[in-house]
Structure 1
Amino acid sequence: MKKLILTLGLMMATQAWAVTDTYNIDGTHSFANFSIRHVVSKTSGTFNDVSGVITLDPTNLNTATVRAAINVSSVNTGFGKRDEHIKADKYLDVGKYTQILFESTKITASNQTQAVMQGKLTMHGVTKLVDIPVKVLGYGADPWGGQRAGFEGHLTIKASDYGFGWATGANAPVGDDIEITLLVEGVKAK
């Protein structure tokens, strides 16, 4: 019995010493890049207004949480007319849907740098569970006296799952699969 109490006490003490860090997503160094089929090729772009909070224990990614938002109006494909077209009602409908939101529900780590992040992705008024394989790119000091963490994630979603109606049939000019690469840099909260 004494051994069991001692073991439980050590486990609780170890958990109490676990360090959870909070990182605020740095919007100037974080991006959600996408590509989608267009006619016979692909077109790509970036949402360059990403915000949110990541909490994690660097030694145990299973305890991490992520809440992130993307300003849909920040879409940038490098061509202004196309950006305005994408923002219109037929596609992103930025007048009605201003953000894409992600909130993690579970993290399953395979080691200290790789994990699969499951969570709720809300876009265009629809919420779906998604799995995002993520990689920790590193932790370190920045030139301004702060601490940073870098992350990369990849996923593919179906536009039709989120209520976008353009992707109908084999001859549709825009495809149904949207490939997304997340490049996120967080600044450790002081």
Structure 2
Amino acid sequence: MNKTLILFLIFAYSIALSAQNSTIQKASIDFVFVDKDVKGSISGFKSTSKIDWNNLDNSFFEGSVAVETLDTNSGLRNWSLKSGKYFDKSDYSRIYFKSSKITQKDQQYLVEGTLTIKDIKKPITITFKQDGNQLIGTTSLYSYDYDIKIKKKREENLVKVTFRFELK
């Protein structure tokens, strides 16, 4: 009887430990180029992220998306954006993010890190909220900062990004 109880406790403890950690199983990333109200998405997501809900210091977000998958529902616009003038998919096939710090503030998770587009690295913060087994995050950036100058002025190149991560 005692052996059965001990085995049950070990089993329950191992289940509880695994429930404290999450990885990203699926992702969708949408964006809006605000000045022109152009909506789109990007996929080809790869990630090695790990979330330790009990100790965020043990957590990290690291992933990339494929520039080739950029889609604005306009073939000509997509082709132009992927060309050497903008994203230059031939030389820079992926966009990368790597976190440096994760903190919780009320019901939100602030993920600070580095976004790399066209080998240009800039700090960025993504704000996430948990919704069941999903993390939904938002951030804003200026494409101009990554040498993607759609409009002439930096402030006219605002892009709002939404992340939806399904957790496992």
Alignment partner of 1:98 out of 93, 101, 107: 93
Matched, 1:160 2:144: yes
In the TM superposition, what whole-angstrom CA distance separates every residue of 1:17-68 from its partner, at most 9, and x where no partner exists?
A: 9665251442xxx111111145xx4111000221202212224445421111
Conservation of the 8 A alpha-carbon contact between 1:25 and 1:53: no
The structure with the largest strand share of the pair is 1
Distance 1:127 1:25, change over 3 A: farther
The percent of aligned pairs where both chains have the same amino acid is 22
Conservation of the 8 A alpha-carbon contact between 1:104 and 1:119: yes
> Superposed, which structure 2 residues align to 1:1-190 within 5 Å?
21-26=21-26, 30-38=27-35, 41-111=36-106, 113-139=107-133, 150-169=134-153, 175-187=156-168
1:178, 1:35 → 2: CA distance? Answer: 6
Q: Which runs of 5+ in 2 are unaligned?
A: 1-15
Q: Which runs of 5+ in 1 are unaligned?
A: 1-16, 140-149
TM-score for both structures, normalised by structure 1: 0.71
Aligned residues: 152
Q: What is the identity, as a one-letter code, of the residue corresponding to 1:99?
A: R
Conservation of the 8 A alpha-carbon contact between 1:25 and 1:50: no
Q: Describe the SS at the equivalent of 1:175.
A: helix
Conservation of the 8 A alpha-carbon contact between 1:62 and 1:106: yes
Q: What is the identity, as a one-letter code, of the residue corresponding to 1:127?
A: K
Measured after TM superposition, the shift of residue 122 of structure 1 is: 0.6
Q: Describe the SS at the equivalent of 2:157.
A: strand
